[in-house]
């Protein structure tokens, strides 16, 4: 792992500044859990409350076509850079640019919306706004379109869990972040980010809840290896929150 993509933990250091520097120079940044928690005011009690929302996810029928047991929900928002305002937009189908995810070419996928309890959780809004403070290093957009995806991938002894069934890919946005919420009884789940020429920028297994991997999606590719259960008699799970930002002008003006 390159040292220049990993955040520091010096007292008083600003993780946002570290993220901006790394994204501008390298294209990716790994924010340690302690820095993320400090930045959004999380502690053990509030994290347990936040992670409970992953018990309310719904099966992903599109991943099931690939034999993947994945659960998720989905929300779309507008973020104003000037004042940090975050506003929900009408729930609609989820579509990605054709060149970013070949597994779902030409498909507008329908997912259940985020629950009211999730939207009201302070850690949700603080996390998104943290990304909003980082995004301007990549683009000076005044308004951003934000996609929020809580995921759970489940594996069993006879069916590995694939967090990215499409393989190494892009999301077709400007900035993508994958926040580890929790992992249980799982091995694998190695996250990798690659540069435009296929050079490996970082490979890491997110283990500590709150670890946040960010990437400039315009010039990097990312993927996660399958998970398998440690105890083959019990299921394995990996819970993440994926947050992506793109200038609203590039998202049908919304």
**CA 143/CA 249 separation, integer angstroms:** 8
| Position 8 pLDDT exceeds 80 | no
In the DSSP assignment, the letter for residue 113 is B
* pLDDT for 253: 37
**CA 112/CA 93 separation, integer angstroms:** 10
* pLDDT for 16: 96
**CA 85/CA 65 separation, integer angstroms:** 38
User: Looking at the DSSP assignment, which residues form a beta bridge with residue 70?
Assistant: 153
**pLDDT tens digit string along 163-177?**
998 889 999 899 999
* pLDDT for 216: 98
Backbone dihedral angles phi then psi of residue 135, each to the nearest 5 degrees: -55, -35
* pLDDT for 68: 86
Q: Which tokens go with 186? A: 């799982």
**CA 104/CA 182 separation, integer angstroms:** 27
Q: How many CB atoms lie within 10 A of CB 207?
A: 11
- List helix spans (H) across the chain: 15-25, 33-40, 44-51, 61-64, 116-120, 122-134
- CB proximity list for 61: less than 8 A, separation 6 or greater: none
**pLDDT tens digit string along 197-227?**
999 999 999 999 999 999 999 999 999 999 9
Is residue 106 classed as helix, strand or coil in its secondary structure? Answer: coil
* pLDDT for 110: 85
Is residue 100 classed as helix, strand or coil in its secondary structure? Answer: coil
Q: Which tokens go with 251? A: 């998202």
* pLDDT for 235: 97
* pLDDT for 254: 35
CA distance readout (Å), 212 to 7, 56, 151, 196, 209: 10, 22, 14, 21, 9
Q: Which of 9-23, 105-119, 122-136 has the highest mean pLDDT?
A: 122-136
Contact between residue 161 and residue 236 where contact means Cβ atoms under 8 Å apart: yes
**CA 87/CA 235 separation, integer angstroms:** 37
**pLDDT tens digit string along 68-110?**
899 999 999 999 999 999 999 988 777 665 565 555 555 667 8
State the pTM of this model: 0.91
Average pLDDT on 8-34 reads 87
Average pLDDT on 188-193 reads 97
* pLDDT for 99: 61
Q: How many CB atoms lie within 10 A of CB 253?
A: 8
User: Looking at the DSSP assignment, which residues form a beta bridge with residue 221?
Assistant: 194
**CA 147/CA 218 separation, integer angstroms:** 16
Contact between residue 212 and residue 128 where contact means Cβ atoms under 8 Å apart: no
What average pLDDT does the structure give for the chain?
Answer: 90
**pLDDT tens digit string along 44-74?**
999 999 999 999 999 998 888 888 899 999 9
Percent of the chain with pLDDT over 70: 87
């Amino acid at each position: 792992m390159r040292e220049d993509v990993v955040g520091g933990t010096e007292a008083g250091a600003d993780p946002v500044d570290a993220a901006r520097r790394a994204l501008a120079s390298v294209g990716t940044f790994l924010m340690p859990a302690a820095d993320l928690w400090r930045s959004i005011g999380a502690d053990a009690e509030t994290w347990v409350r936040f992670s409970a929302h992953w018990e309310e996810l719904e099966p992903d029928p599109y991943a099931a076509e690939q034999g993947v047991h994945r659960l998720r929900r989905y929300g779309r928002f507008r973020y104003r850079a000037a004042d940090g305002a975050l506003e929900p937009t009408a729930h609609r189908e989820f579509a990605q640019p054709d060149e970013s995810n070949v597994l779902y070419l030409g498909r507008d996928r329908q997912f259940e919306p985020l629950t009211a309890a999730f939207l009201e959780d302070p850690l949700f809004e603080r996390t998104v706004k943290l990304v909003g403070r980082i995004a301007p290093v990549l683009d000076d957009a005044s308004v951003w379109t934000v996609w929020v995806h809580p995921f759970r991938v489940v594996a069993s002894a006879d069916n590995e869990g694939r967090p990215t069934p499409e393989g190494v890919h892009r999301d077709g946005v400007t900035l993508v972040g994958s926040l580890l919420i929790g992992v249980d009884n799982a091995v694998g789940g190695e996250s990798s980010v690659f540069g435009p020429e296929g050079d490996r920028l970082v490979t890491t297994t997110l283990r500590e809840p709150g670890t946040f991997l960010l990437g400039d999606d315009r010039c990097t590719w990312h993927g996660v290896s399958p998970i398998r259960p440690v105890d083959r008699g019990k299921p394995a799970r990996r819970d993440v929150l994926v947050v992506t930002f793109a200038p609203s002008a590039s998202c049908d003006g919304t």
